[in-house]
Amino acid sequence: MNATPTPRGHAVVIGASLGGLLAARALSESFERLTLIERDELPAAPDHRRGTPQDHHTHGLLARGRHALDQLFPGFTEELVAASAPLADLQADMHWYFDGRPLAPTRSGLVGVAASRPLIEYVVRSRVAAIPGVTFIDRCPGLDLTTSPDRSAVMGVRLLGGGEGAGERVIEADLVIDASGRGSHSPVRLEQWGYGRPREDRVHIGCTYMTQMYRREPHHLDGRIGTVCSSYPGQPRGGIILAQEHDRFIVTLAGVLGEEAPSDRAGMIAYAETYAAPEFAEIIRTAKPLGEPVQMRYPASVRRRYEDMAAFPEGFLVVADALCSFNPLYGQGITVAALEAVLLTDLLAESRDDLWRRFFRGAAELVDTPWALVLGGDLRHPQVEGARTAQSQNFAEYMTRYWSAAHHDALLGTALLRVTNLLDEPASLLAPDLVDRVTANC
Ligand SMILES: Cc1cc2nc3c(=O)[nH]c(=O)nc-3n(C[C@H](O)[C@H](O)[C@H](O)COP(=O)(O)OP(=O)(O)OC[C@H]3O[C@@H](n4cnc5c(N)ncnc54)[C@H](O)[C@@H]3O)c2cc1C
């Protein structure tokens, strides 16, 4: 991050989930006052809320995202650990099944922290709330954006009345950020203002999560913190087991292409027995369930191409899931939101000029790799629609051999996890020494 500018002016962030909180952290270095506006009542402790239905489900935090969060909030990882979230080596202390075969385990040096989504959000929210000049307006039932008469700039937010502290009033702002998630109204608003909608890329995956929390005992999974089992052509079922704070496991049985796990215990066990990873059935059969299973459907990854727009109102940006929402099985959303926040901090430290163009261009570069990983993985299913080039087919075929070889060669597994954790580019897997190891091991 660059040198800190003198803070001036007021910025408003719509949505106080992780995307909005991280954007607020970025703005806090250059704006004197910040207002976060949230539809939900924000809980005073780690808890679920209506506006983030995904918070009942497994949230893996990629290594790159954890690093970015530590950069934005020094001591973030330690705070999660102090709240009893387990810290572990991602390859030695977890099992990874790709194409039905486990990666060879080894100490990779890749460290992950396993925390529930409500805890992650709570810790970030507490840090943002402690920044001088930050105000939260929650329980906001509705809002609209105000613009200049010629609609060349967004001037603020009109609160449409309702809860405490959110009467009918206009809040002026030098910058408004839309962090309202994948249901963002920005494309519609831009069309109404005469800018047209951004081009949208969609990858329909038809994913369903069935998630249940369990009591974690020391003997479970021989002390490991979790297992990831990917779906692959011919096997639309996959899932995640991940330790959580307070001696719990969260278990998600995921299906793609319309495949859905049942919610009754016997059905879940039978479903999990079809997995290559025996851990899923083992935990569901032997661990004590806590609460009821919760289902969530995720139809498609959506990327909005604001960087391609010819014109855009000044004083306005769109971030995080509102900009790009990824198939959750890749665990990328928080990491990309954090990387966008680091980008925004740096851009604002340089200048506020032409911010939308510079931000959307930089964010598009950040999103390219995680989006390519989603495309590469999802397009392996022949039923998923999308452009398959000869190059992407060759890479997919190479990766099939790679995963098979990584079953024997732990170093290949580490290189792969570095890519899926967004630390290295996918092209790094084509380094000559790795290609040789793939050839030697499959
Ligand atoms: C099932 C599932 C599993 C996931 N798993 C992972 C994972 O393992 N790892 C990972 O990194 N990411 C994961 N994600 C993605 C992650 O949850 C998001 O990327 C992250 O929450 C950032 O999203 P966001 O803040 O942009 O939007 P959201 O989290 O959707 O939040 C939008 C916020 O805006 C508020 N809001 C909406 N409209 C208004 C309005 N008009 N006025 C005021 N407030 C408004 C909502 O109440 C909400 O608080 C998962 C997502 C899903 C759906």
- Give 89-120 pLDDT, tens digit per residue: 999 999 999 999 999 999 999 999 999 999 99
CA of 349 to the centre of ligand 1 (A): 27
- Averaged pLDDT for residues 248-264: 97
- Averaged pLDDT for residues 235-257: 98
Q: Which atom of ligand 1 is nearest to the CA of 240?
A: 8
Residue 417 near residue 102 (C-beta atoms within 8 A): no
The answer on pLDDT for 163 being more than 70 is: no
CA of 320 to the centre of ligand 1 (A): 8
Please tell me the predicted confidence (pLDDT) of residue 429.
98
Instruction: Please name the helix (run of DSSP H) or strand (run of DSSP E) that holds residue 46, with its range, or none.
Output: none
The answer on pLDDT for 164 being more than 60 is: no
Q: What is the DSSP string of 178-237?
A: E---TT-SHHHHHHHTTS-PPEEEEEEEEEEEEEEEEEPPTTGGGG--EEEE--BTTB-E
CA-only gyration radius of the chain, Å: 22
CA of 405 to the centre of ligand 1 (A): 36
Residue 355 near residue 347 (C-beta atoms within 8 A): yes
391, exposed or middle or buried, with CB in 10 Å at 0-12, 13-18, 19+? exposed
The mean of the pLDDT values for the chain is 96
CA of 282 to the centre of ligand 1 (A): 31
Please tell me the predicted confidence (pLDDT) of residue 162.
57
Residues with CB under 6 A from ligand 1: 14-20, 37-40, 51-52, 54, 57-60, 140, 143, 179-181, 209, 296, 298, 320-322, 328, 331-335, 337
In testing the pocket of ligand 1, which one of 13, 18, 120 has its CB within 8 Å of the most ligand atoms? 18
Q: What is the DSSP string of 368-410?
A: HHHHHHHHHHHTTSTTS-S---HHHHHHHHHHHHHHHHHTT-H
Please tell me the predicted confidence (pLDDT) of residue 382.
94
Residue 317 near residue 300 (C-beta atoms within 8 A): no
Q: Which atom of ligand 1 is nearest to the CA of 325?
A: 19
Please tell me the predicted confidence (pLDDT) of residue 6.
87
Q: Whose CA is nearest to atom 49 of ligand 1?
A: 17
% of the chain residues with pLDDT over 70: 98
- The per-residue pLDDT for range 270-315, each reduced to its tens digit, is 999 999 999 999 999 999 999 999 999 999 999 999 999 999 999 9
Domains of the chain: 10-70+120-201+301-377 (3.50.50.60), 85-117+203-299 (3.30.9), 385-441 (no CATH)
Sheet holding 94-98, edge to edge: 101-102, 94-98, 226-229, 237-244, 248-255, 199-215, 289-305, 324-325
The answer on pLDDT for 373 being more than 80 is: yes
Report, in this order, helix, strand and coil percent for the chain, each rounded to 5: 35, 25, 40
Report the distance separating Cα 330 and Cα 343, nearest Å: 22
Q: Which atom of ligand 1 is nearest to the CA of 333?
A: 19
The answer on pLDDT for 215 being more than 50 is: yes
Q: Whose CA is nearest to atom 15 of ligand 1?
A: 333
Please tell me the predicted confidence (pLDDT) of residue 161.
73
CA of 53 to the centre of ligand 1 (A): 8
The answer on pLDDT for 193 being more than 80 is: yes
CA of 430 to the centre of ligand 1 (A): 34
In testing the pocket of ligand 1, which one of 94, 321, 326 has its CB within 8 Å of the most ligand atoms? 321
Q: Tell me the residue type at 37.
A: I
Please tell me the predicted confidence (pLDDT) of residue 131.
98
Residue 328 zone, left/alpha/beta (φ > 0; ψ -120 to 50; rest): alpha
> Which of the four pLDDT bands, split at 50, 70 and 90, describes residue 167?
low
Lowest-pLDDT range, 128-132, 242-246, 323-327, 386-390?
386-390
Report the distance separating Cα 331 and Cα 334, nearest Å: 8
- The per-residue pLDDT for range 44-86, each reduced to its tens digit, is 999 999 999 999 999 999 999 999 999 999 999 999 999 999 9
The answer on pLDDT for 165 being more than 70 is: no
Parallel, antiparallel or unpaired: strands 248-255 and 324-325: unpaired
% of the chain residues with pLDDT over 90: 96
CB atoms within 10 A of CB 407: 19
Report the distance separating Cα 138 and Cα 165, nearest Å: 8
Please tell me the predicted confidence (pLDDT) of residue 3.
58
CA of 325 to the centre of ligand 1 (A): 9
Which of 216, 268, 274 is closest to 245 using CA atoms?
216
Please tell me the predicted confidence (pLDDT) of residue 168.
80
Which of 9, 226, 251, 222 is closest to 112 using CA atoms?
226
Please tell me the predicted confidence (pLDDT) of residue 166.
47
